[in-house]
Amino acid sequence: MVGLWSVPTPAFLLPFLFGADTAALLGYSDTMSFSEVLAELPALSVAERQLLVRRALDLDEPALSAEDEALVEQRLAEHQRNPESAVPLDDMKARLRGRFTP
């Protein structure tokens, strides 16, 4: 199986990266123990390991509600209309420290 970056993708990653249904369609149905998965990690490229970590972190994050998604989209649109309204990160950190530090 050729991976996202033209590097072979180990078969054990197919269900994790593309979902069990897609993996089954591609002929993958075996499972691996956690220790087997760990043993295969060195065979992955840096990009594949990064994708794996991002995907694992995504599983722990609850999806945004429709209201939250709309708020994010609204604020992004406002920023795109007026990028000068953005506050530099260091300034925001200083404001927050001043507000919440005794």
**What's the pLDDT tens digit per position in 11-23?**
666 656 666 555 5
Residue 63 has pLDDT above 70, yes or no: yes
Residue 29 has pLDDT above 60, yes or no: no
pLDDT score of 22: 58
Token pair recorded at residue 89: 């990160």
Q: How many CA atoms lie within 13 A of 99 on its CB side?
A: 6
pLDDT digits (tens, 9 = 90+) for 79-96: 999 999 899 999 999 999
pLDDT score of 1: 43
Output the average pLDDT for the chain: 79
Per-residue buried b or exposed e for 17-30, using 16+ beta carbons within 10 Å of the residue's own CB:
bbeeeebeeeebee
